[in-house]
Amino acid sequence: MFDKSTYVARRRTLCEKMAKTAPEGKRGIALFIGNVEAPAQYKDNCYKWRQDSSWLYYFGLDDPRYAAVIDFDSGEQTIFADDVEIGDIIWMGPQPTVQSKAESVGIYSSAPYKAVDAVVAKAISQGRRIHFLPPSRYYNTIKLSMLTRCTYDEVNIVAEGDGHHASEELVKAVISMRLVKEQCEIDAIDDACALGYEMHSIGRDSIVPGIIEQEIVGKMEAVTISKGWGVSFPTILTQHGETLHNHLHDKIIEPGKLMVIDAGAENNLHYASDFTRTYPTSGKFTQKQRDVYQIVCDCNNHAFSLVKPGISYRDVHLATAKRMLEGLSALGLVHGDLDEMVAQGIAGLFQPHGLGHNMGMDVHDMEDLGENLVGYDPDQKRSDQLGLGSLRMARKLVPGNVITDEPGIYFIPALIETWKSEGKGKDFVNFSRLESYYDFGGIRLEDDVLVTPNGARRTGPKRLPITPDEVEAAMAK
């Protein structure tokens, strides 16, 4: 947890932002529902406890079954949770009181968890606005639906003004704050990246043909559990990198393949890292692998070189797409005018995902608040092109943004065949030449980047080996 003053200041800023959304007396209340434990098998056997990120941001308290209300008219702030009883002490040990916990984050009013029901009911009866964030978990869906008398679907719809839905005003205020990391958050991300570095180094050093992928995953995740909260997302470790979110680890490692490792650590303060590297399972790239790898590596470096305040990440994505098409042209896989190909979205056939996303307490930061509200400026419209359409962060960059830089090239037979049969990209793509890449797999290279006042820096103490030579040297050790 950070200093008490951090949370007090954040809530003060939030109140100031919300004060601008309506005249005094019409601002209403914000209702925050912290997480409860998430059952894995049954209600008392749960996944590892993880608090809601927006809750952590404003209230810091890392315990289940908490709620809070901020009254934007009176300024009053209240924490709702239950003190433990003797029966609980046997199972959970002696605990500080809810009141003392509330005070530790600068809130001096507390009440039992159940009491939040009456507070919300009263505000509804007075016709006051109830602001809440869309729920990130199913329990919160149920709780919000019961408290605010919305349907399950309604609580997930973010819109402005009164009514049965999540509050766009509150969502926008929260996003505007969490998008720009404070120094204490940057330190926490650097720390998570140090864990991520160690995690990836162990992963790379464990690649040996003949073992099962799962064995490497266990060694990598041990680092995150021993020194942090755990993984910041389910580890991707696969010889089928062309499948973007492949969470199976049941394959035997074969020589001569490419292995994509996309993995991150969450530290004990609940900040994420998110790195991807791609390794030749035999320790050396074939020439064919090296040629494609070098393009992805160039794209990663090119994107990083462009990052600075004022440029939109959409433009960085497009500039990187152009660089990628230039490289693919040199290999004879596409041909034609580069700008024309960028405009037609040809890069999406090879990289059907965006260049990167915001990162913070969530690895896709604030995705529960709505991808477009988080990642797009009001004047930006999301593309419907494959690839660019998946870009989660398009905004004009400002100092304090933390983003991922993760270009990739994949040869996805089903996708290529679909384009070919539909005649899509037929003026640019050398489909016949692509057939020899159907068993190639995929390559992705990802760093995490902080936008600084004058440019950018990669987060974490060191950059993982990334050039083909660096990778081969690291694997030879």
> Which residues would be at the binding site for a copy of itself (CB under 8 A)?
38-50, 53, 86, 89-94, 136-139, 141-142, 146, 152, 214-219, 221-227, 233-234, 240, 242-247, 352, 361-364, 366-368, 412, 414-415, 418
What is the phi/psi pair of residue 106, to 5°? Answer: 85, 25
| Identity of the amino acid at 209 | P
Rounded Cα–Cα distance for residues 229 and 235 (Å): 14
Residues 438/413, Cβ–Cβ less than 8 Å = yes
Please tell me the number of Cα atoms within 13 Å of 260 on its side-chain side.
29
CB of 331 to a copy of itself, least distance (A): 22
Considering beta carbons, is residue 345 or 465 the nearer one to a copy of itself? 345
Strands 158-159 and 166-167: parallel
Task: Pick the closer one to a copy of itself by CB: 144 or 466.
Answer: 144
Is 403:452 a contact under the CB 8 Å cutoff?
no
Comparison of 60 and 352: residue with beta carbon closer to a copy of itself? 352
For residue 279, what is the enclosing H or E element?
strand 275-280
* Choice between 108 and 138, CB closer to a copy of itself: 138
Relative orientation angle of helices 138-148 and 115-125, to the nearest 10 degrees? 50
Distance in Å, CB of 240 to a copy of itself, minimum: 6
Cβ proximity to a copy of itself, 73 vs 435, nearer residue: 435
Q: Order of strands across the sheet with 110-111? A: 110-111, 77-80, 67-71, 29-33, 130-131
* Least distance CB 233 / a copy of itself (angstroms): 5
User: Minimum distance from CB of 248 to a copy of itself (Å)?
Assistant: 9
Half-sphere exposure of 426 (CA within 13 A, CB side): 6
Q: Which is nearer to a copy of itself, 5 or 100 (CB)?
A: 100
| Tally of CB atoms within 10 A around 49 | 13
Structure-token pair, residue 380:
């930006």
**Minimum gap (Å) between residue 222 Cβ and a copy of itself:** 3
Least spacing, CB of residue 116 vs a copy of itself, in Å: 17
Please say which residue, 93 or 310, places its beta carbon nearer to a copy of itself. Answer: 93
CB-based contacts of 415, cutoff 8 Å, min separation 6: 349, 352
